[in-house]
Amino acid sequence: MMVSSSAYLILSATIFTIGVLGFLVRRNVLVMFMSIELMLNAVNLAFVALSRQLGSLDGQVVVFLVMTVAAAEAAVGLAIIICLFRNKKSVNVDDFNLMKW
């Protein structure tokens, strides 16, 4: 059975929205960070679906690169969060307000 690519795109948009909402609503840095990863993966899904629909491989190449970059970003991000945790013993953004936003 074929699922039309618009279904994938709608799913991708939904995941992206969930990511944005999670980022805005949650106060835990790790969860916020995961929300960003969610958004990136939503984009990946869109790229794969579009790549299949358009019959071009470019989209799949993008996905590989995005995944790599996201991994790098996660590594750096987690390192910074560890530093912060050492300084403050907390991962709640409300505690990270030495400077006003």
Partner 1 sequence: MTYQLLLPQIFLFLWAILIFIIDFVRKEKKHNLAYVALLGIVITTVLVLTSQKGELFGGMFQADSFSAYFNLIFLLTGFLTIASSVEFTQRLPSNKGEYFGLILLSMVGMMFLASAGDLLTLYVSLELTTIPLFVLASYRKDEFKSTEAGLKYLILGGISSALLLFGISLIYGLTGTTFLTEVRTTLIVRFLSTGNVGPALVLGFIFMIAGFGFKLALVPFHMWVPDVYEGAPTPITAFLSVASKATGIAAFLRVFFHAFLIFQVDWVMLMAVLAALAMIIGNIIALLQTNIKRMLAYSSIAQIGYILLGVVAASSRGVSSVAFYTFVYLFANMGAFITAIAFSHKTGSDEIKDYAGLSRRSPALAAMMAVFMLSLVGIPPLAGFMGKYYLFSAAIEQRYIWLVVIAILTSVISLYYYLNVVRQMYFQTSTEESPILMGAALKTALLICVIGVLLLGIYPNIFLNFANQAAMVFHY
Q: What does the binding site for partner 1 look like in residue numbers (CB under 8 A)? A: 9, 16, 19, 23, 29, 32-33, 36, 39-40, 42-43, 46-47, 50, 53-54, 56, 58-59, 61-62, 65-66, 69, 72-73, 76-77, 79-81, 83-84, 87-88, 96, 98-101
With contact defined as beta carbons under 8 Å apart, do 48 and 58 qualify?
Answer: no
Question: Which is nearest to 29 in space by CA: 78, 100, 87, 99?
Answer: 78
Q: How far is the CB of 98 from partner 1 (least distance, A)?
A: 6
Integer CA distances (angstroms), 56 to 32, 49, 51, 87, 91, in order = 33, 11, 5, 48, 42
Q: Which is nearer to partner 1, 11 or 81 (CB)?
A: 81
Q: Which is nearer to partner 1, 25 or 83 (CB)?
A: 83
